[in-house]
A and B are shown apart, each in its own frame.
Chain A
Amino acid sequence: MSTAQAVPAESSVNYLNANYGIKSWLLTFDHKRIGLLYLASITLMFFVGGVPAVLMRLHLIEPQGALFEPETYNKLFSTHGIIMVFFFLVPSIPATLGNFLIPLMIGARDVAFPKLNLMSWYLFIIGASFALYATLSGGVDTGWTFYPPYSSSYSQTHVVAVALGVFIAGFSSILTGLNFIVTIHKMRAPGLTWFRLPLFIWAMYATSLIFVLGTPVIAVTLLLLGAERILHVGIFDPAVGGDPLLFQHLFWFYSHPAVYIMILPGMGVVSELVTAFSRKKIFGYSFVAFSSLSIAVISFVVWGHHMFVTGQSVYAGLVFSVLSFLVAIPSAIKVFNWTATLYRGSISYEAPMLYALGFIGLFTIGGLTGLFLASLATDVHLNGTYFIVAHFHYVMVGGAVMAYLGGIHYWWPKITGRLYPDLWARIAAAIIFIGFNLTFFPQFILGYLGMPRRYAVYPAEFQVLNVMSSAGASILGIGYLIPLIYLTWSMRYGPVAGPNPWKAKGLEWTIPSPPPTENFTEIPIVTEEAYNYPVAEPRKYPDTPGVARV
């Protein structure tokens, strides 16, 4: 991508071995180390949030509930949602890969505010500690949506501790977003114009906008919830003069854009993976870049589609419906452009590419089933059922988590300097793909049949599909454990990766793996577009006499 650099030997000083000791990690200002601190923390949170999911699926094997009292079941799905949304998905790609890669990709030595960056991590840890404390000391049973008046006046569980945890972790999001926006504006290497940026950077920029503009709203909302719960100030509970729908408006004003906080970074990762493993320039660069920004903007005006059955006015319903259809278009544009990027590429199928292709397939289904919910008449039937659960898991897990795992596998050699066993990684990707579909596809049918979500017991006629879903969940659970094992193994025993094992483009691949603490000994000067892979004349394929041009 830029001027070639001398590659120091593997034994040289890098960010991992520059200094040792717990203090050198906990007081580091190095964006790469902070990225790893996040990686360790959110991996822990992923498994903390995953255990309740496994228990829930086991419980639902039997219609009358196989394992728990309804009270416990309610706490399990609440914990699962809260931990996964606020403490895994929201920070996942931005805080780990974003922190690690943004300076490397734009040719900078660190983010704009390294100390603020470390503070974000500490805020995240404090917030997560509150959530973990609440979980371990009895849990919370409000669902991740905290709807009052149940959460403010009726629930007997640790609502305040959890809300406080989410509130504090929110500041971590805001500061990270602020840091990224300034970094991307001010610290790009000479010659790295906006339209030469990797699409991952565009996606992170769009995500950061939502972090900064959306997160304060959830903070205020939770503060008001706390005021009502502790001080009995009438804000949301009609019994003390409040309006319960006000909470839902405020909550979804953040939480719908938050869906895009989770998926936009994944889209950025997939743009990097698809180009690297087909050795091609992205098809329609500016369309993919601007679709990220338009998703970020439109995401702020679609929240009302969560409230079609609350009694909100018919006219408001119509407006939110049409805007929700509108947000589908930029997502469709991305899917088509990724597909077109493969055309006439040189495609290989290492594990990261399998995750990327899995993402495109599952996100396509997740996106298209969103149309059922943007459509008013069908949403009335499907709202609050398992159809919703299936839809957002296709987007959040089939989309965001697949992209996260793909990104981790793709940049793992850069992060650790080591390669993992690719065969195992491919097997894990396949297991996750199969397990995921078996878990969540039956839930679309369950939802259409009318099974409501958040039911600890259910009518017997829904059992077959529930058992299928539970079987899938056990496969999915195993799929997630395998990478944990071989990635950990590879840190010590994996073969040395070298600076660019994938022969990929991008400034991060021009420096040693693991990178030195200061990233670039000399700040690079960028003279070309992103993904500028060498191209051949139209080649002939054995099975086709000629190749048509676009």
Chain B
Amino acid sequence: MMIGFIESGLNSVRGAAAMFPLQPPAASSIAEGVDKLYLALTGITLFFSVLIFSIIFYFMVKYRRRSDDEIAAETHTSMVLELGWTIIPSLICVVLFVWSSTLYVRNSRPPAASTEIFVIGKQWMWHLQHSEGPREINELHVPVGVPVKLTMTSQDVIHDFYIPAFRVKKDVLPGRYSSVWFQATETGTYHLFCAQYCGTNHSEMIGWVYVMTPTDYAAWLAGGEKTESLAEQGQRLFIQFDCGSCHVAGGGGRGPSLAGLYGKPEKLASGETRVVDESLIRQAILVPNSVHMPSYQEIMPTYQGQIDEEQILQLIAYVKSLGSEERNGK
């Protein structure tokens, strides 16, 4: 009720002062929920600020010193008041915690059927790679109404991928993958910012997100230069580095067959069981012995220095494509 009131109030303010926006565009499926919480928090802040300020002003006027030798009247510490202003804020905090955490947990889980796009941050540009093949720099084209999952890494320092209109933000770290997802709800053009200070031209590590209708998006994908898909590029690398000489497709090689490996829990020589995901594949390429499997010898050389982050992503895409094909075949 209070939220509705504030919202309608804010709506009229919005109408009156379109020149002076108080709210960023809301263009993703989670934006509305975040904005409601934000409005509630604003309401609480206003309420308590006005409450404290009014009481102080009232006391300031009413109890102002009228002569220099005036003395105060006696008051006693009141347990009721002390408990009241301990318990009421505590309850408000509990409500806020439950509300914000529910939203956060829901927002942090990408839907199973998400389109995957890979992001590499480097000083000072965003490199975006669609599974279908197209690459973009500082521009991201996405279809409206489709969940998109970004798998991100950095080539140098820590960056942060931030689209204010979607209310999503996630650090992009070197040496590991982080992910973020969104589902755009409004077509349009929105800011993309780096929100973690990353050196000299940090403020120029910005770009645009273009949210398109599915048909426009399909046309965009089809247009432009014909490129191989990410998995196809990965397959070429796989051949180029002669990975298949050990990772023999049907098994029986000096290394494990990669078919059907993605997404499977594997017991490692260290005794640890890990699901084969993007991070594990990356680690296997760069520091093979740290994740080697007990039934194979530690003979794989590291590819650190011979392969860049982009190529690793291509190989990962290839391994992933391999998994699904083989599984379908079985």
Q: What are the residues of chain A within 8 A of B165 when measuring CB–CB?
A: 450
B104 A536 Cβ-Cβ under 8 A: no
B63 A452 Cβ-Cβ under 8 A: no
Q: How far is the CB of B256 from chain A (nearest CB, A)?
A: 25
Q: What are the residues of chain A within 8 A of B62 when measuring CB–CB?
A: 541, 543-544
> Which parts of A437-469 form the interface with B (CB within 8 Å)?
445, 448-450, 452-459, 461, 464
Q: How far is the CB of A35 from chain B (nearest CB, A)?
A: 30
Question: Could you give, for residues 57-81 of chain B, a 1 whenever the CB lies within 8 Å of some chain A CB and a 0 otherwise?
Answer: 0011011111000111111111001
Q: How far is the CB of B120 from chain A (nearest CB, A)?
A: 14
Q: Interface centre among A74, A321, A368, by most B CB within 10 Å?
A: A368
Please measure, in the bound complex, the distance between the C-alpha atom of A449 and the C-alpha atom of B21, giving whole angstroms: 8
Q: What are the residues of chain A within 8 A of B307 when measuring CB–CB?
A: none
Residues of chain A at interface, number, CB under 8 A: 97
Q: Given A344-B72, A380-B167, decide whether A147 and B34 contact each other with a Cβ distance below 8 A.
A: no
> Which parts of B141-173 form the interface with A (CB within 8 Å)?
156-158, 160, 162, 164-165, 167-171, 173
Q: Which of B38-46, B238-246, B266-274 is the contact stretch?
A: B38-46
Q: What are the residues of chain B within 8 A of A372 when measuring CB–CB?
A: 38, 41
B108 A314 Cβ-Cβ under 8 A: yes
A550 B75 Cβ-Cβ under 8 A: yes
Q: What are the residues of chain A within 8 A of B24 when measuring CB–CB?
A: 448-450
Q: Given A344-B63, A346-B72, A371-B93, decide whether A311 and B173 contact each other with a Cβ distance below 8 A.
A: yes
Please measure, in the bound complex, the distance between the C-alpha atom of A329 and the C-alpha atom of B82, giving whole angstroms: 12
B45 A368 Cβ-Cβ under 8 A: yes
Q: Which single residue of chain B is at the shortest CB-CB distance from A242?
A: B175
A176 close to chain B: CB less than 8 A: no
B93 A326 Cβ-Cβ under 8 A: yes
Q: Interface centre among A455, A534, A541, by most B CB within 10 Å?
A: A455
Q: What are the residues of chain A within 8 A of B45 when measuring CB–CB?
A: 365, 368-369, 371
A377 B41 Cβ-Cβ under 8 A: no
B97 A325 Cβ-Cβ under 8 A: yes
A340 close to chain B: CB less than 8 A: yes
**Cross-chain contact of B76 among A329, A346, A550 (Cβ < 8 A):** A550
A376 B199 Cβ-Cβ under 8 A: no
Please measure, in the bound complex, the distance between the C-alpha atom of A285 and the C-alpha atom of B76, giving whole angstroms: 11
A329 B70 Cβ-Cβ under 8 A: no
Q: Which single residue of chain A is at the shortest CB-CB distance from B168?
A: A380
Q: Given A74-B200, A533-B71, A537-B73, decide whether A378 and B93 contact each other with a Cβ distance below 8 A.
A: no
Q: What are the residues of chain B within 8 A of A449 when measuring CB–CB?
A: 21-24, 164
B104 A380 Cβ-Cβ under 8 A: yes
B203 close to chain A: CB less than 8 A: yes
Q: Is the interface of B mostly helix, strand, loop or mixed?
A: mixed
Q: What are the residues of chain A within 8 A of B113 when measuring CB–CB?
A: none
Please measure, in the bound complex, the distance between the C-alpha atom of A285 and the C-alpha atom of B82, giving whole angstroms: 11
Q: How far is the CB of A250 from chain B (nearest CB, A)?
A: 15
B59 A377 Cβ-Cβ under 8 A: no
Q: Given A325-B93, A333-B86, A378-B100, decide whether A339 and B169 contact each other with a Cβ distance below 8 A.
A: no
> Which parts of B181-200 form the interface with A (CB within 8 Å)?
191, 193-200
Please measure, in the bound complex, the distance between the C-alpha atom of A452 and the C-alpha atom of B194, giving whole angstroms: 8
B164 A381 Cβ-Cβ under 8 A: yes
Q: What are the residues of chain B within 8 A of A378 when measuring CB–CB?
A: 34, 37-38, 41, 100
Please measure, in the bound complex, the distance between the C-alpha atom of A524 and the C-alpha atom of B93, giving whole angstroms: 45
Starting from the known contacts A285-B77, A454-B197, 16 additional A-B residue pairs (CB-CB under 8 Å) come to A141-B200, A147-B157, A244-B175, A309-B169, A314-B105, A321-B100, A365-B49, A372-B38, A375-B37, A376-B104, A377-B104, A381-B34, A381-B38, A535-B74, A537-B73, A543-B62
Chain A residues within 8 Å of B, Cβ to Cβ: 70-71, 74, 141, 143, 145, 147, 149-150, 153-155, 237-239, 244-245, 278-280, 283-285, 287, 309-311, 314, 317-318, 321-322, 325-326, 328-329, 332-333, 335-337, 339-340, 342-349, 357, 360-361, 364-365, 368-369, 371-372, 374-378, 380-381, 383-385, 445, 448-450, 452-459, 461, 464, 533-539, 541, 543-544, 547, 549-550
The 3 closest A-B pairs by CB, nearest first: A450-B164, A238-B175, A375-B100
Chain B residues within 8 Å of A, Cβ to Cβ: 20-24, 33-34, 37-38, 41, 44-45, 48-49, 52-53, 55-56, 59-60, 62-66, 70-78, 81-82, 85-86, 89-90, 93-94, 96-97, 99-101, 103-105, 107-108, 123, 156-158, 160, 162, 164-165, 167-171, 173-176, 178, 191, 193-204, 206
